[in-house]
Structure 1
Amino acid sequence: MFTAVLYAVTMIFFLFSLAKDAKKTKMALIKSWKSFANILPPFLTVLSLVGLALTVLNPDLISRIIGAKTGIKGMLITSAIGAITLIPGFVAFPLAASLLEKGAGIMQLAVFISTLMMVGVVTLPLEISYFGRKEAFLRNGLAYIFSFFVAFIIGMVVS
């Protein structure tokens, strides 16, 4: 039901935009299509790798590597993966849900999601060019540490 309402509202705003300025609306559609075309290849790659990983990794292996009983070791593994990987949030949360169903621990997934969203090893060169080396490393370092605090709090609340 929610999806249908969302589509209806979107269509109403689209028609309003079309009536107000058809030329700008057409330009916006062209820009959005180009943006979608640029995002699609890496998005499909990430989805394929996630699907492959979930197919290959059995629940026993997942719980041994990043299960609740792995403690800080599992958290360090998932934090490193989260800090290095560049996955959009709308892929990361379903991935985390799948890993949770297959035996991953709550705190391990919390630190994974936190580092994934807040720490950017891949984007560090870009961040350095905008903010400078010291600020970029400081921000990423503090975000990495904060991710563990978030994970411990989530672990205490959920357990």
Structure 2
Amino acid sequence: MVAAVINIFALLLLFISFLKSNKKTKGALKIALFKGLGLAPQLISLVALIGIVFAFLPPELIKEFLGGNFSLIQVGGAALFGAVMMIPSLIALPLAGSLIDAGASYTPVAAFITTLTMVGFVTIPVELKELGKKITIYRNGLALIFALVIAFMIGVFI
């Protein structure tokens, strides 16, 4: 239902954009199409990789490492894995759902997702160059702290 509302809203805005400037809207759609086609191989390979991992990792193993009794090691490992990975949210969110379906606890999965989207160890070289050392350290440090706070809050409330 939410996806339908979002898509209808997007189509409405697209229609309004066509009314304002037909030429600019067609140009923007053309750019979006080529960007999407450029991302397609990466997205398909990530989906395939996740499928292969889930095919060889039994749910019992996932439950053993990420489920069961709450452990700081679970949350720390999931947070570190999320901070180091560079997976688009489009792929990470269904992955999180699959982990929960396989028996993972909410807190480590939340730590994985929040650090994945908020902390950027992979992007540190670019951040250092563009933002400087001080801002990069503050941003990533605070993002890590807040990501863990969010993960623990999700674990408490769910």
Partner of 2:40: 40
1:19-66 per-position Cα deviation (integer Å, ceiling 9, x unaligned): 443322221121111211222222222211111112211111001111
Further displaced range: 106-115 or 60-69: 60-69
What CA distance in whole angstroms lies between the structure 2 residues aligned with 1:16 and 1:144?
A: 40
Give the conservation status (yes or no) of the 8 Å contact 1:68–1:106. no
Give the conservation status (yes or no) of the 8 Å contact 1:82–1:116. yes
Partner of 2:122: 122
Partner of 2:94: 94
Change over 3 Å in CA distance of 1:109–1:7 after alignment to 2: closer
For 2:155, give the aligned amino acid. G
- Which TM-score applies when normalising by structure 1? 0.86
Q: Does residue 1:108 correspond to 2:105, yes or no?
A: no
Q: Which runs of 5+ in 2 are unaligned?
A: none
Q: Kindly state the Cα deviation for residue 14 of structure 1 after the two structures are TM-superposed.
A: 3.6
Q: Kindly state the Cα deviation for residue 132 of structure 1 after the two structures are TM-superposed.
A: 0.5
Q: Aligned ranges for residues 126-137 of structure 1 at < 5 Å? A: 126-137=126-137
**Runs of 4 or more off by more than 6 Å in structure 1?**
none
What CA distance in whole angstroms lies between the structure 2 residues aligned with 1:141 and 1:8?
A: 38
What secondary structure sits across from 1:115 in the alignment?
helix
Q: Aligned ranges for residues 1-159 of structure 1 at < 5 Å? A: 7=7, 9-69=9-69, 71-158=71-158
For 2:43, give the aligned amino acid. F
- Which TM-score applies when normalising by structure 2? 0.86
For 1:39, give the aligned amino acid. L
What CA distance in whole angstroms lies between the structure 2 residues aligned with 1:74 and 1:8?
A: 40
Change over 3 Å in CA distance of 1:125–1:4 after alignment to 2: same
What CA distance in whole angstroms lies between the structure 1 residues aligned with 2:21 and 2:150?
A: 46
RMSD across aligned C-alpha pairs, in angstroms?
A: 2.1
What secondary structure sits across from 2:87 in the alignment?
coil
Give the conservation status (yes or no) of the 8 Å contact 1:68–1:107. no
Q: Which runs of 5+ in 1 are unaligned?
A: none
Q: Kindly state the Cα deviation for residue 9 of structure 1 after the two structures are TM-superposed.
A: 4.9
What secondary structure sits across from 2:71 in the alignment?
helix
What CA distance in whole angstroms lies between the structure 2 residues aligned with 1:98 and 1:59?
A: 10
What CA distance in whole angstroms lies between the structure 1 residues aligned with 2:121 and 2:79?
A: 12
Change over 3 Å in CA distance of 1:30–1:76 after alignment to 2: same
